[in-house]
Structure 1
């Protein structure tokens, strides 16, 4: 009643002024209130944002090249099964898929995200008759260290790439990280993607053996492919396609690559793909080696301190060895599924003979 009486006693203009003043106060209070923190991005979104634009040199000559298809990136089950011992033979056959994919894993500490990207080829091949070997399956890639600076995607500070049995380290321009126990091998470049709004780091792989470094330490020489990260997977239109989108696959996905680590059809031992000498592998070349390709938890640079597989399973350790990090980095993981097999990895690293990739 009092409210009704008061309203009737005020002139209309006064009521309008009071309402306007109340609205202004409310608006000012909303503007002054702190903005809610942005929702944390998912690991998949993080991996997609930092996934590299990837240059792949292609050699289309020779019978083992399959007109260039031996240099296309694909999945371990491109032929519809998880048998690593038939991949050489089925590469290029009708009914198989060379749609572009790359694998990734994310592990976390309180200070950094570490993202491993893994590019798979069904063949590691050569067209030289002497002193070089071929083998079934090929797996090489890169590790990116991302500082958690409070922004949604963080800041990329370093890269370590895998080229056969050697690691190479890079920092982007302006990085606060400098050389540690290992010297920095170059600058990690960035490039805009036509498929999103981000600048992406740029990596490259050579033809045949598929060693991976920061672009342009490997570059396209003649035919080649430029792969762009995306949510769709495209098959190259030819061996000289400069805009191919590739899709990411989580290594830790249910039933995924990590879940298959003990599958004897796919892996000969922990972190080493199964591969044999069937088909024409080694024909016309020096030899064909068996069980010679590695997944990320099998990557190793035997001359360096980190043990086999630690580039993926303990990237904070590797980063602390390879680089000087002024702000320091946490060594305790808040998310690291690789740690569930840490003892097995350590034992495998201690006892396994060196492998060639």
Structure 2
């Protein structure tokens, strides 16, 4: 019993110490990936990453139309959720178009795919990454870095995380395919690995001015990190729209799903165009992985990781900070009053019960 109490006290001290050491922005920047983006020469600019409001408004039904020539700052979104034992850091990559150059294929306006990592709070400033889950369209893929204790859980681990030294930080490497932008750990998503004879862009995080690709073959473009949970940002827009009548929603069609229409040439020629087809971390889902539910990337990442991986050791599912949940609670939502489209498998009051002020 005494050993257990000592272990719990040590865990609480580690959680408190690491939480005070760095800000969420510093934590997200330290772990931010070197990102390999495959491109297709028939429409390079549609493979450039940017902001969801890159055109100066949060109206999502004009983003296909306003894509222009792609001269916008490279942007990657992040969020940080903190449990008693881990940080869960999400990164999301936005494109105005999910497009195709193949006849009889389907396109849609807006595209957001990404990843989440579990970082153990081990007493160091930035903790230690233990696992990664990525979004590849409607499937999730899981990876572990060298030395991770994680084993197969309800899902089989799909590969290893690779790293690249950049400005003194050994950064994980991620990669997205061209056109459809499915994302995996590098080099699993596409045949772009950075070779000179391949089409693609390599993005690097910066605290300075973000860059713009010079072409579809730019090997160094700096991207800025933007907090999804910041006031007036992406998640704020979701909460705002969730309180509006459907006809007045600008950014989202339902909970976790961007609005998107067929204007501007989406589905032109012999292709088709689907509407309201792009999802966010609080709407991402793998439809065939069992008891992992839509939106857990943001709402309940500890459950997501405990489902995907075994060997997690001391692994708390209590949250010291989960702005996704507190945002919903502060907006007046609860189990009997949820946003339109909120996943039926998740009980909001149960999720609110995972928020804690103490890890003792």
**Shorter-chain-normalised TM-score: which range?**
0.7 to 0.9
Q: Residue 351 of structure 1: CA displacement? A: 8.8
CA distance in 2, matches of 1:351, 1:181: 18
1:307 alignment partner, one of 276, 293, 301: 293
CA deviation map 1:68-102 (0-9, x unaligned): 00000000111111110000011025xx7421011
Q: Residue 346 of structure 1: CA displacement? A: 10
Q: Which residue of 2 aligns with 1:55?
A: 36
1:301-340 alignment to 2 at 5 Å? 301-304=286-289, 305-340=291-326
Q: Is 1:192 matched up with 2:178?
A: no
Aligned-residue Cα RMSD (Å) equals 1.9
CA deviation map 1:217-255 (0-9, x unaligned): 124272110001111311011111010110100011111
Check conservation: 1:179, 1:323, Cα contact below 8 A: yes
CA deviation map 1:247-278 (0-9, x unaligned): 10001111111110033111111110000000
CA distance in 1, matches of 2:299, 2:92: 14
CA deviation map 1:155-176 (0-9, x unaligned): 0000000000000000011111
Q: Is 1:150 matched up with 2:126?
A: no
1:210-221 alignment to 2 at 5 Å? 210-218=181-189, 219-220=191-192
1:132-211 alignment to 2 at 5 Å? 132-193=105-166, 196-211=167-182
2:28 partner SS: helix
Check conservation: 1:275, 1:292, Cα contact below 8 A: yes
CA deviation map 1:166-214 (0-9, x unaligned): 0000001111111101000000111111xx2100010000000000001
Q: Residue 312 of structure 1: CA displacement? A: 1.9
CA distance in 1, matches of 2:98, 2:341: 28
Point out the structure with max Rg over C-alpha: 1
1:349 alignment partner, one of 328, 343, 355: 343
CA distance in 1, matches of 2:223, 2:270: 32
Q: Residue 347 of structure 1: CA displacement? A: 6.4
Q: Is 1:252 matched up with 2:225?
A: no
Change beyond 3 A, Cα 1:142–1:326: closer
Q: Which residue of 2 aligns with 1:20?
A: none
Q: Residue 345 of structure 1: CA displacement? A: 6.6
The alignment's TM-score, normalised by the length of structure 1, stands at: 0.82
CA distance in 2, matches of 1:351, 1:46: 31
Check conservation: 1:78, 1:97, Cα contact below 8 A: no
The alignment's TM-score, normalised by the length of structure 2, stands at: 0.82
Structure 1 unaligned spans of 5+: 1-36, 353-357
Q: Residue 286 of structure 1: CA displacement? A: 3.0
1:286 alignment partner, one of 260, 263, 271: 271
CA distance in 2, matches of 1:295, 1:98: 21
